Amino acid sequence: MTRLRRHQTDPVLDGKPFRPRNRLALGDGDLVVQYHCSRWNPVAENEEGVRRRVTRAKLLSNGDHAGSLELVEYEIPWLMGADEFLYEMDAYSMATCHLAEVLCAHWEEPADLGEYGSVLELNRAWMRPAYSSNGNLKAAVDGLLEKLFDDRSLLILKAFPLEYEGEVTDFNRNHFRRRQAAMMRHYRHLFGVDALPGSNGEAGWMYAMPERLEGIIAAPKV
């Protein structure tokens, strides 16, 4: 097999606790986003270090489960050095360590980002194929960004088709790369994100800064 089909069932929320306490109606009300925000928790034992909060959301289109999202915020303390930031993120998980490495590769001092707001990662996103081309994903993300994350300093994501998690092989690598490239074009159109320079961008990492911070926070270095 060289090409994997997209998930028909939810790979974002399935198997995870999800008790939505909030509801966001969008458009004429035919799209509803149910969501839940966790508490802020330190990523390491340092209570004054990096903190992390997870928001999970379910998208309902006319009552049908159309998709799901997971967004993760990181608060980086002012004056925290890059080495300490990497250490704490590495202590939490391989995924957070990888994110920290990407941030440090393009901003010498991640605390410069934290000074202007939280770093927001669109960590996972899934749309049921029947609902993937009608603007629901863009509407949901835009609505959540405006309501919950207006004070962010950076939006970052890695375009990665979830059906290929742990499944990329020499036999399907070309199909994966074509699918990832298509996803990057799609995300650029939906969210206004650009690929990071160099190898991280080639690997699917993309970013966007709020207009209020353009010219204030340095662009990512090559």
Q: Give 90's contacts (C-beta < 8 A, 6+ positions apart).
A: 96, 97, 100
Whether residue 33 is contained in a domain is answered as yes
Q: Which of 16-20, 67-71, 77-81, 160-164 has the lowest mean pLDDT?
A: 160-164
Q: What is the pTM of this model?
A: 0.93
| pLDDT-based confidence at residue 161 (cuts at 50, 70, 90) | confident
The answer as to whether 195 is a domain residue is yes
CATH number of the domain bearing residue 195 = 3.40.630
- Asked whether residue 218 is assigned to any structural domain, the reply reads no
Assess whether pLDDT exceeds 70 at residue 3: no
**What pLDDT sits at residue 62?**
92
In a domain, 10, yes or no: no
Q: Which residue matches tokens 């790369």?
A: 177
Q: Of 14-18, 152-156, 216-220, which has the strongest mean pLDDT?
A: 152-156
Q: What is the maximum span of the chain, computed from C-alpha positions, in angstroms? A: 50
Query: Which domain, by its residues, includes 51?
Result: 22-213
Does residue 1 form part of some domain? no
Residue showing tokens 């998980």: 93
Calculate mean pLDDT across residues 203-222. Answer: 95
Asked whether residue 5 is domain-assigned, the answer is no
Looking at residue 14, its pLDDT comes to 84
Q: pLDDT-derived band of residue 1, with 50, 70 and 90 as boundaries? A: low
Q: Give the separation between CA 210 and CA 154, rounded to whole angstroms.
A: 7
Give the amino acid at 107: W
- Does residue 170 register a pLDDT over 90? no
User: 29 or 221: whose pLDDT is higher?
Assistant: 221
List, as one string, the DSSP characters of 136-157.
HHHHHHHHHHHHH-TT-SEEEE
Q: pLDDT, tens digit, for every residue of 21-46?
A: 899 999 888 999 999 999 999 999 88
What number is the average pLDDT over the span 207-214?
95
Residue 14 lies in a domain: no
Across the range 110-126, mean pLDDT stands at 96
**pLDDT, mean over the chain:** 92
Q: How confident is the model at residue 114 (pLDDT cuts 50, 70, 90)?
A: very high
Q: Count of domains in the chain?
A: 1
Residue 97 falls within a domain, yes or no? Answer: yes
